[in-house]
Amino acid sequence: MKDAMFRTAQRDRREVESFQDLEATELYCPNCRRPVPVRKFLLLVLPEGDKYEYRCGSCGAIVGDKTERAGRFQA
């Protein structure tokens, strides 16, 4: 019984992690020539925010980027 509970907890945690990886939606990939699920990578931490890039989940090509504001002081 204990073992079953342990396994359930493990699976829950993994689901949360994979959900975070797929946080971004789909973007068009010029290599695959179709919209693909993308992965988000933290690229740079800038004073104006964190810069992320999105890579194709199939071929790994960079299909976009975005800067998320840190939510701190903005002039």
Q: Provide the residue type at 11 as one letter.
A: R
The least CB distance from residue 29 to Zn ion, in Å, is: 3
The least CB distance from residue 61 to Zn ion, in Å, is: 5
Q: Tokens standing for 34? A: 């179709």
Nearest to 54, CA basis, from 17, 15, 26, 31: 26
User: Of 10 and 31, which has the nearer Cβ to Zn ion?
Assistant: 31
Instruction: For Cα atoms 35, 61, 47, give the angle at the middle one, nearest 5 degrees.
Output: 100
**Which residues here bind Zn ion, judged by CB under 5 A?**
29, 31-32, 56, 58-59, 61
The least CB distance from residue 40 to Zn ion, in Å, is: 15
